[in-house]
A and B are shown apart, each in its own frame.
Chain A
Amino acid sequence: MTVAVVRFPGSLDHDSAARAVRTAGGDAAPAWHQDAELPAGTHAVIIPGGFSYGDHLRPGAIASRSPIMGAVRRHAEAGGLVLGICNGFQVLCESGLLPGALRTNASLSFVCRQVELDVADGDTPFTQALIGPLSIPVKNHDGAWYGDPSTARVVLRYRGENPLGAVDSVAGVANGAGNVMGLMPHPEEAVDPLLGSVDGLGLISALVAR
C-alpha cells in the first residue's frame, strides 16, 4: 500500500513519517505542495509535522490553501484515509476537513515530552485496532485544540494532565465518516523500541492495512 507524504516548505517530519510507513510495511511516496494530484496509486495520505510556510498568519493556514490540498480533499471525499500529525492536524482543521482549530498552548511554551493517550473512539479505521493508553510524544507550540467536543468526533484524549490546554483534553479528532483524522502527538516518532515506545505503530499501520 502506498502512503503519500505531503511536503510543504517548512515541513519537518516527512522523513520520519515515510520511515514509519516503511516500518509498518508500506511504501511512502512524496507529494509536493504545488502538485495538483497525489502520486499515482496513493491509498492513504499523511500530512506531517513541521512549520509549513513558517507558521505565518496561523499554523496551517497558508498550507491549507495550497494546490495539493485540493487533491487531498478529493481523496478524502472519495473515502480515502488522511492522517494529519501536529502541523498536519492544523492544516486539516484550517482546510475544514476536520472540526476545530489549534491554539497557542496555554503555557505559551513549546511542549516536548512523552504523553499518555486514551482512545476515546475505537470505531474509526485509524483507531479500531488501538488499545490505550498509548505512550507517544508531543512537540509543538500551538497544539491546544479548540472546538465543540459535543459535536466533534473526538478519538484521542490526553490521560491525566492536559499538557497543552486543549478543550476537554482533546488530543485527536476525526471527521464524521472517520476516514480523516488529526492528532497533535507524533505516532511516527513512536515506532521503534530505540525511542522508548512503539505505541504509534498501530496508527501508522492503519494507513497501510487498508
Chain B
Amino acid sequence: MTRVVVTVMPREGVLDPQGQAVQGALGHLGFDGVDHVRVGKRIELTVHGPEPEAEARRMCEELLANPLIEDFTVTVEGG
C-alpha cells in the first residue's frame, strides 16, 4: 500500500475569503508579520496499484480538484 497526499489550493487570482479572514484574525492577535494567507485542503489517500501518482492525478482531474478555481499537487510518500 502507498500513501499519497493530495494538496488542493485556491488558484492565484481566485478570491480566497477564508484566507483573508484568517489573515485578519492573525493580525488581530498581533501576528503583524503575515503578508498573505491562503487556505486549502489536504487529502490523504492510501492506495494500491502500480502507478499511484498517475492514478492520483487522474482522481484530481476527475473529482478531487476543480481546475477552474483550484490547483493541486500530488506527493507519494515512502512506505
Residues of A participating in the B interface, judged by any CB pair closer than 8 Å: 57-58, 61-62, 65, 94, 100-101, 103-108, 144, 146-147, 165
With a cutoff of 8 Å between Cβ atoms, the chain B residues found around residue A62 in the complex are: 63
B23 within 8 A of A: no
With a cutoff of 8 Å between Cβ atoms, the chain A residues found around residue B63 in the complex are: 57, 61-62, 65
Instruction: Specify which of A100, A104, A144, A147 lies most central, judged by the most chain B CB atoms within 10 Å of its CB.
Output: A104
A-B contact count (CB 8 A): 33
Size of the B side of the interface (Cβ < 8 Å), in residues, is 11
B64 close to A144 (CB less than 8 A)? no
B17 close to A107 (CB less than 8 A)? yes
Residues of B participating in the A interface, judged by any CB pair closer than 8 Å: 14-15, 17-18, 21, 62-64, 66, 68-69
| Residues A103 and B69 in contact in the complex (CB < 8 Å), given A146-B14, A165-B17 | yes
B18 close to A101 (CB less than 8 A)? no
Query: Can you list 13 A-B pairs, Cβ within 8 angstroms, ordered by A?
Result: A58-B66, A65-B62, A65-B63, A94-B66, A100-B68, A101-B68, A108-B17, A108-B21, A144-B15, A146-B15, A146-B68, A146-B69, A147-B68
Report the Cα distance A105→B18, complex, angstroms: 10
